[in-house]
Amino acid sequence: MPLNCARSTSLILGAAVAATAFALATPVQAGLIPAVELSIQVSDGFDSTFEPVGTDRGGGIFNFMGALNETNFSIDWDFNADPTLDGGAFVGNNFTIENVSDETLEFNIMVTLPLDGGGGPVDYFGSTGFTLSGTDATAATLGDGISMWEAMADGAEVASLFDHPSSLMFTGPGTMTASDNLPGGVLAMVSDSIGIRLNFSLTPGDTLTATGNFAVIPAPSALALLGLGLLGRRRRRN
């Protein structure tokens, strides 16, 4: 079931709130790059898990930037993360995926941010936005129970957006955008990590850009923000 999306050349982003970090068992040393893990699986047989190169942006925020260029596809990433306790922790997703093959490919991309410990309860929120461009292009969910965007905590899915069946689709040359926000929720505890997983199919010759973030804030801080309306509203999907 296609989403009710507007075709546009500008990316419509979900409401984003600056997030800071979350309780840790091991103190973070200033400038120590967290061991973020990036896992990429593609239906052409590509399967790799590695630590992307990171830099310290200051203020407890780290940036991870890089690119992967393969025969059938290319993936660029440029996202920020903050693993520290005071105020909350967050991990972003900012990926541009191009299918340069002659067949539809399926992608599973997951970024995992290790927390320096854990605790709870925590409130969580997040958002994501997709931009699809190309000709006769389609980006879609992969099947029942698999969403295009999934928020992870300690390796398990805790929330999702663009649930199955969802798709971005158009005929002829063009661009389509769509976005959505989590309404906010509560986790009893997060022990080790938070992350974001992307799952989608992409037609030949087309490009999908995915942006967003997932954050946890020690309760009741996020509830206060929700009460003030600072975390945005969930966008309805058809």
Structural domain containing residue 217 = 37-227
Q: How confident is the model at residue 133 (pLDDT cuts 50, 70, 90)?
A: very high
The model's pLDDT over 145-170, given as tens digits with 9 standing for 90+, comes to 999 999 999 999 999 999 999 999 99
In a domain, 3, yes or no: no
Residues 6+ apart with CB under 8 A from 195: 91, 110, 111, 112, 113, 151, 152, 153, 155, 214
- CA dist 121 and 16 (Å) reads 22
The residue with greater pLDDT, 183 or 166, is: 166
In a domain, 54, yes or no: yes
Q: How many domains does the chain have?
A: 1
What are the helix (H) ranges across 60-206?
Answer: none
In a domain, 15, yes or no: no
In our burial notation (b when 16+ CB lie closer than 10 A, e otherwise), range 222-238 reads beebbeeeebbeebeee
3-class DSSP state of 224: helix
Can you name the residues that pair with 215 across neighbouring β-strands? 90, 125
Handedness of CA 224, 227, 229, 235 (dihedral sign): positive
In a domain, 221, yes or no: yes
Q: Does a cis peptide bond (omega within 30 degrees of 0) precede residue 220?
A: yes
Count H helices, E strands: the chain? 1, 16
In a domain, 48, yes or no: yes
Of the listed ranges 13-17, 40-44, 185-189, 207-211, the one predicted with least confidence:
13-17
- CA dist 234 and 118 (Å) reads 28
What are the helix (H) ranges across the chain?
Answer: 221-227
- Residue 114 has a pLDDT of 93
Q: Residue 73 maps to which CATH number?
A: 2.60.120
Of all residues in the chain, the percent with pLDDT exceeding 70 is 77
Can you name the residues that pair with 124 across neighbouring β-strands? 185, 216
Q: How confident is the model at residue 85 (pLDDT cuts 50, 70, 90)?
A: low
**Could you tell me the pTM of the whole model?**
0.81
